[in-house]
A and B are shown apart, each in its own frame.
Chain A
Amino acid sequence: MKQFIIRRLGYSLISLIVLSLTIFFFVRVTGDPATLLVEPGASEADIAAIHHQFGLDRPLVVQYLLFMANLARGDLGQSFYYQMPVSELYLSRLPNSLLLAAVAMSFSLLIGIPTGILAAVRVGSFWDSAGKLFALLGLSLPSFFVGLLMILFFSVYLGWLPSSGSGTALHLIMPAFALGWYFAAAHMRLMRSSMLEVLGSEYIKLARLKGLPQALVIGKHALKNALTPVLTLAGINLVLMINVAVIVETVFAWPGVGRLLYEGVSFRDFPVVQGVVILGGAMIVVVNLLVDILYAVIDPRIRLET
């Protein structure tokens, strides 16, 4: 188990280095940040001064190595636009993203797990077909579209919910729904297929042959087995939700890290973009590792393997 974790950590480190290289060079393709920071009509000298201030006049390789050296010390650099440390910016936005992701995840599991079970237990019935339609809509309607529809209906037409911003529970409902919508459908589909597989197993047949009530067969014997892949996916999805809510956070003006990334890209704020992407990547890597360990806790068979 220990050796397994160490090896996985090594792989994780390599993928993070590849990620840092990719984002470092790609963000520099977007253009020169100095042109967005100076007054219109600024002189060549002013731009050169800004380049010098941010170290953009040095060779790319030197810039990258400096960035990595700082990163190793836990320093993500200084935002060009906000003139403050990226880590501080990130941490100020993170609670909002966590809140949004937690609510969206609860929503997606509360919808996805029961509907998935229902569709599997009543396979081929009306409920199964309704579930399939829901999954199709969930997976094919993009979150910004669902978000805009909701704004149109609940904010503009009914006037029940605020269309943007944060601060109250009401502000959270629509972004969480828009973000969780896709994941609810994904969790429902996986729950259904995983449950169907388990329901066809011999141990479920034996549980029925033992005369257990349906509630015990489904709720105990089948659910615990069928839940494992769904939990794995949910763990990974939670981190995805924190880090890919760029569009939802932009549509609803929700001040999370997704919106920070959006701002970073629009202002060519290289350290912000790099910082948000690297931290997001690190989070995904860590959660993958945690899910693997959780898996081993739930399923005793995995403890034997390394």
Chain B
Amino acid sequence: MSNSIHSFASSEGKRPVAAISNRPLLELRNLSTNYISARGRRVVRAVDDVTLTINAGETLGIVGESGSGKSTLALTILRVLPPAAHIVGGQMMFEGEDLVQKSDAEMRRVRGKRIAMILQDPMASLNPLFTVGDQVAEPIRVHEGASRATAWRRAIGLLKAVRIASPETRVRQHPHEMSGGMRQRIVGAIAMSCEPRLLIADEPTTSLDLTIQAQYLNLLRELQREHGLALIFITHNLGIVAKMCDQLAVMYAGRVVESGPVSRIFNAPAHPYTEALLNSIPRMGDNRERLTAIEGQPPNLASLPPGCAFAPRCPVAFDRCRAEAPPAMDLGAGRTARCWLAVPAAAEAGLQDGAV
């Protein structure tokens, strides 16, 4: 098991886990991405003033409803945005360089090489007309200039590493000859092919069935451990967050409404939206007749209320919430929240609970 993980390591040997241990691997500062309509009439703030950090080897979970900007945030980090989307402000410091300032050619050398991504739908994310081997070997050839034969050998090793049986046969097959779970592992192999420092997984298990989901999550964790990989895990499944993540960022209407260590947030959420999300998880032995849902509709990003975007659905909102959007408040202990009611004391309480 462990030999296969190492078998595809490049000949240069392993990189140090973190060059400077106290510098975060990726630091997003006040990052904003807008969708701007053709004549600039409509502006949708898909990612709005997001500040987040992730350290080497750490797992950051990003949760939120559909349309909360999670996926746009991921695509912003890699700068693979649809034509209408533009990064309108902020910085993305990755290993000491600002990705926002990089040229397209420089950015292309980051993608797939230093930051890789796994998409949601394994049935759609592989090209149907090329063999699996070709698609896994491609980044190795492009980024490392490896020969066809070398890249192909590495591809076989990668398939082995993601637990694909008889990889020598599988490399020559096409995606349609494989199951969804296998295809998603192949997408994982593609992501790992150039040994990235950061892997962004956008709901990678949503379309897999439950047993395959668990296998896949374990595989990701093993790969992460073996390679000191930092992982950004985008999901709407709080169970997965609890299992996989160290840090958590909760997104609502393009903003990070709360962030911090998972255990502390789970024990004492500082934002009413986080609290509502946590309350909506059905529990074993729960004999309520109805599941708890968050009242109201998710906001329309094109016409957000002037104040806090969650105010219309918030049970504890007051006048100030509807007039003025709260800034990201530092609650201490690595926690932030965008809520007028969030006070450092809540973080204090969370700290105590978290120790249990």
Find out whether the CB atom of A211 lies under 8 angstroms from the CB atom of B125.
no
A89 interface residue, CB < 8 Å from B? no
Known: A212-B138, A212-B142, A216-B142. A207 touches B174 (CB 8 A): no
Contact residues of B between 62 and 110, Cβ < 8 Å to A:
78, 80, 83, 108-110
Find out whether the CB atom of A201 lies under 8 angstroms from the CB atom of B124.
yes
Q: Which of B109, B113, B119, B129 contacts A205 (CB 8 A)?
A: B119
Report A-chain residues with C-beta under 8 Å of the C-beta of B130: 221, 224
Q: How far is the CA of A206 from the CA of B200 in the complex (A)?
A: 12
Report B-chain residues with C-beta under 8 Å of the C-beta of A201: 124
Find out whether the CB atom of A300 lies under 8 angstroms from the CB atom of B176.
yes
A208 interface residue, CB < 8 Å from B? yes
A72 interface residue, CB < 8 Å from B? no
0 or 1 for each of A67-111: is its CB under 8 Å from B? (1 = yes): 000000000000000000000000000000000000000000000
Q: How far is the CA of A124 from the CA of B39 in the complex (A)?
A: 12
Report B-chain residues with C-beta under 8 Å of the C-beta of A298: 129
Report A-chain residues with C-beta under 8 Å of the C-beta of B38: 124
Contact-residue size bin, chain A (C-beta under 8 Å from the other chain): 20 to 34
Contact-residue size bin, chain B (C-beta under 8 Å from the other chain): 20 to 34
Find out whether the CB atom of A202 lies under 8 angstroms from the CB atom of B124.
yes
Find out whether the CB atom of B142 lies under 8 angstroms from the CB atom of A206.
no
A46 interface residue, CB < 8 Å from B? no
Known: A124-B38, A202-B121, A301-B176. A209 touches B126 (CB 8 A): no
Find out whether the CB atom of B126 lies under 8 angstroms from the CB atom of A203.
yes
Chain A contact residues, majority secondary structure: helix
Residue among B112, B129, B143 with max Cβ neighbours from chain A (10 Å): B129
Find out whether the CB atom of B80 lies under 8 angstroms from the CB atom of A225.
no
CB distance from B116 to the nearest CB of A (A): 7
Known: A208-B111, A210-B142, A211-B142. A224 touches B176 (CB 8 A): no
Find out whether the CB atom of B125 lies under 8 angstroms from the CB atom of A203.
yes
Q: How far is the CA of A208 from the CA of B127 in the complex (A)?
A: 12
Report B-chain residues with C-beta under 8 Å of the C-beta of A206: 117, 119, 125-127, 187, 190
Report A-chain residues with C-beta under 8 Å of the C-beta of B111: 208-211
Report A-chain residues with C-beta under 8 Å of the C-beta of B127: 203, 206-207, 221, 225
Find out whether the CB atom of B176 lies under 8 angstroms from the CB atom of A210.
no
CB distance from A230 to the nearest CB of B (A): 14
CB distance from B143 to the nearest CB of A (A): 6
B139 interface residue, CB < 8 Å from A? yes
B332 interface residue, CB < 8 Å from A? no
Q: How far is the CA of A300 from the CA of B187 in the complex (A)?
A: 20
Q: How far is the CA of A304 from the CA of B112 in the complex (A)?
A: 32
Q: How far is the CA of A211 from the CA of B107 in the complex (A)?
A: 8
Q: Which of A123, A213, A221, A300 contacts B108 (CB 8 A)?
A: A213
Find out whether the CB atom of A300 lies under 8 angstroms from the CB atom of B142.
no
Q: Which residue of B lies closest to A202 (CB)?
A: B124
B315 interface residue, CB < 8 Å from A? no
0 or 1 for each of A280-304: is its CB under 8 Å from B? (1 = yes): 0000000000000000001111001
0 or 1 for each of B116-147: is its CB under 8 Å from A? (1 = yes): 11010100111111100000001100110000
CB distance from A207 to the nearest CB of B (A): 7
Find out whether the CB atom of A208 lies under 8 angstroms from the CB atom of B128.
no
CB distance from B85 to the nearest CB of A (A): 13
Find out whether the CB atom of A211 lies under 8 angstroms from the CB atom of B112.
yes
Report A-chain residues with C-beta under 8 Å of the C-beta of B108: 211-213
Find out whether the CB atom of A205 lies under 8 angstroms from the CB atom of B125.
yes
0 or 1 for each of A189-223: is its CB under 8 Å from B? (1 = yes): 00000000000011101111111110010000100
CB distance from A43 to the nearest CB of B (A): 71
Report A-chain residues with C-beta under 8 Å of the C-beta of B174: 300-301
Find out whether the CB atom of B129 lies under 8 angstroms from the CB atom of A299.
yes
Report A-chain residues with C-beta under 8 Å of the C-beta of B126: 203, 206
Report A-chain residues with C-beta under 8 Å of the C-beta of B142: 210-213, 216
CB distance from A181 to the nearest CB of B (A): 31
Find out whether the CB atom of A208 lies under 8 angstroms from the CB atom of B129.
no
Q: Which residue of A lies closest to B79 (CB)?
A: A208
Report A-chain residues with C-beta under 8 Å of the C-beta of B124: 201-203
Find out whether the CB atom of A300 lies under 8 angstroms from the CB atom of B129.
yes
Q: How far is the CA of A301 from the CA of B138 in the complex (A)?
A: 22
- A sample of 20 more A-B contacts (CB under 8 A), given A206-B187, A209-B112, is A202-B124, A203-B126, A203-B128, A205-B125, A206-B117, A206-B125, A206-B127, A207-B127, A208-B111, A209-B78, A209-B80, A209-B119, A211-B139, A212-B112, A213-B142, A221-B130, A225-B127, A301-B128, A301-B174, A301-B176
A-B contact pairs, 30 of them (CB 8 A): A124-B83, A202-B121, A202-B124, A203-B128, A206-B119, A208-B111, A209-B111, A209-B112, A209-B116, A210-B111, A210-B116, A210-B138, A211-B109, A211-B112, A211-B113, A211-B143, A212-B112, A212-B138, A212-B142, A213-B142, A216-B138, A216-B142, A221-B127, A224-B129, A224-B130, A225-B127, A225-B128, A299-B129, A301-B176, A304-B176
